[in-house]
Amino acid sequence: MQLKTCEYILQHLLPPVRRACLLVPELTLSILTSSNPLWHIPYEEAMMKLDRSDPWWAFLWPGSQALSRYLLDNKSLVQGRHVLDIGCGCGASAIAS
């Protein structure tokens, strides 16, 4: 990701408040929601603002919530181990680990 894109994201796109997650209220994340201006602009305009990088990292995907909940409920599965979360989106499962 280019520096220009990172600077824009930090200044304009990240939500001003952290939000608790529905299935995993133990986690609070800065994610893209309908209260963010980027949510309401056309896709093409958003891609221009993001320097053509899709913001997959800005969403808490349902599968990630479910896996995070499972990991938090079954801590012994990952306790004391290294965990690699590939294609992690916002990284909720890695945080839950």
pTM score: 0.67
Rounded to an integer, the average pLDDT of 37-59 is 69
pLDDT score of 54: 61
What gap in Å lies between CA 65 and CA 43, rounded to an integer?
25
Is the pLDDT reported for residue 55 higher than 70? no
pLDDT score of 94: 86
Q: Is 42 left (phi over 0), alpha (psi -120 to 50) or beta?
A: beta
pLDDT score of 22: 79
**% the chain with pLDDT above 70:** 67
Q: What is the pLDDT of residues 9-35, one digit of tens each?
A: 666 666 555 666 778 888 887 777 777
